[in-house]
Amino acid sequence: MSQTQVVVSGTKSAPKLRVDHLGVVYDRDGQSMPVLEDINLEVRDGEFICIVGPSGCGKSTLLNAMAGFLSPTSGSVSIDGETVTGPDPRRILVFQERGVFPWLTVEGNIGFGLSKLPRAEREKRIAHYVKTVRLEGFENSYPSDLSGGMRQRLQVARALAVNPDILFLDEPFGALDSITRVIMRGELLRIWEAVRRTILFVTHDIDEAVQLADRVVVLSSRPARIQDVLTIDIAHPRNISSPRYLELRDELLKQIGLAYEI
């Protein structure tokens, strides 16, 4: 009995995702250009992490390395103790734009990763996620007939449909207008609270980070290192004019500002 408890608490404290002395060096015209340097990070299961930093610092590179699209020059990324060697349907990367397949309908896109399921199960899953991202009535529409926000919701639905442990989101709302972005943040939080997946979310928007994240990882300018990790200790739904919110927001702004000065 007590042994079981030890095992349970043991698995609980093990991180879902672990970045260990990660370094990435690009090779541009024979010149080596360090992009990421000695990145160390542990992410718990179900945690919502935002990654911010000055533009061009390597936020997307970090996300791509964690998702397996890019092999690190040094160090490693492991998920559930298993070293990441390539992209895997257990963790899905959501792109900033044009990520959905324009030749498939909404249903076709959501069902893209489900071809191995029996037909009935697949249809049930599709219908469920159509509802989750509120695209009812657009099941047979093509992405070209959807707005930018709907397309991003569709991309999130396609990702969720394969039941991934981790969602990597690369500035998913970056190309949307500011009103749609605010709505999409609320939608993402609602979905996250329903499915409780680990989320790593790259953004250049400080407010977005403070509104969404459990913890915010601040990267320095290139070559990027982790400058600070800020815990956002405000319960959802967050009041964006509360003193604590403003305090954290100012702290983050200061961090980024410092990063610019260096």
Q: How many helices (H) and strands (E) does the chain have?
A: 8, 10
At residue 256's C-alpha, the angle toward residues 26 and 152, to 5°, is 70
Nearest approach, Cβ of residue 140 and another protein (Å): 10
User: Counting contacts by CB under 8 A, is residue 88 touching another protein?
Assistant: yes
143/149 with CB nearer another protein:
143
Can you read off the two tokens belonging to residue 235?
A: 């319960």
* CA gap 119, 238 in Å, rounded: 41
Strands 215-219 and 48-52, by their bridges, are parallel
Q: Which of residues 90-149 bind another protein (CB under 8 A)?
A: 92-93, 95, 97-99, 101-104, 112-113, 115, 142-144
Which residues 171-230 are close enough to bind another protein by CB under 8 A?
none
> Tokens 């963790």 appear where?
91
Our CB check for another protein shows the closer of 114 and 209 to be 114
Cβ atoms of 233 and 244 closer than 8 Å: yes
Of 69, 139, 163, 189, which one interacts with another protein (CB under 8 A)?
Answer: 69
Whole-number minimum distance, CB 174 to another protein, in Å?
14
In angstroms, the CA 134 to CA 120 distance is 21
Per rule CB under 8 A, is residue 24 in the interface with another protein? no
Residue closer to another protein by CB (options 199, 218) is: 199
**Contact of 221 with 53, CB cutoff 8 Å:** yes
Minimum Å gap between C-beta 88 and another protein is: 7
Which chain residues interact with another protein by CB under 8 A?
Answer: 67, 69, 86-89, 92-93, 95, 97-99, 101-104, 112-113, 115, 142-144, 162
